[in-house]
């Protein structure tokens, strides 16, 4: 059992069947953009834009609806890291370039994978979506 899974079980969170927990644990392969102890970024399998990667906390959090004060530093790290990775992945600099950072939450928010993630999308338009 990976440290991520131990953490999830310790928290009583059911992440056994979570796609992004499996990606975080390396059980399902992904094209990695960035990894550290608590975060993973990887290319979206079905990109909407020339640059389109996802960033996830390795620990299972279902969505933004579950975040609390204990997640402030984690979410802060994600938002500070995203611009750096966007440029590294080929987004052009602000203001001519830029990128879109999106987090879908719940059914009406368009969330399909229920493990918190941010989409980082950029590159020359037109895009397929977004």
Question: Which residues lie near Zn ion (CB under 5 A)?
Answer: 15, 18, 20-21, 60, 115
Based on the residue annotation, tell me whether 117 is a catalytic residue of this protein.
yes
Q: What is the spatial distance between Cα 70 and Cα 31, in angstroms, rounded to a whole number?
A: 29
Instruction: State the catalytic residue, choosing from 60, 115, 117, 119.
Output: 117
Q: What is the spatial distance between Cα 24 and Cα 21, in angstroms, rounded to a whole number?
A: 5
Show contacts with ligand 5GP in window 72-101 (CB under 6 A). Answer: none
Size of site (CB under 6 A) for ligand 5GP = 13
H or E stretch covering 19: helix 19-24
H or E stretch covering 49: none
Residues lying near ligand 5GP in the complex (CB under 6 A): 19, 30, 42-46, 54, 104, 110-113
């Amino acid at each position: 059992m990976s440290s991520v899974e131990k953490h999830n079980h310790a928290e009583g969170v059911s992440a056994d069947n979570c796609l992004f927990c499996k990606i975080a644990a390396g059980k399902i392969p992904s094209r990695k953009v960035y990894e550290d102890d608590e975060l993973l970024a990887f290319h979206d399998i079905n990109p909407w834009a020339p640059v389109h990667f996802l960033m996830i906390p390795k620990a299972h959090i279902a969505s933004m609806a579950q975040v609390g004060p204990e997640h402030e530093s984690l979410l802060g790290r994600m938002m500070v890291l995203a611009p750096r990775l966007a440029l590294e992945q080929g987004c052009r600099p602000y203001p001519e370039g830029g990128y879109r950072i999106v987090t879908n939450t719940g059914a009406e928010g368009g969330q399909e994978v229920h493990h918190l993630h941010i989409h980082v999308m950029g590159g020359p338009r037109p895009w397929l979506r977004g």
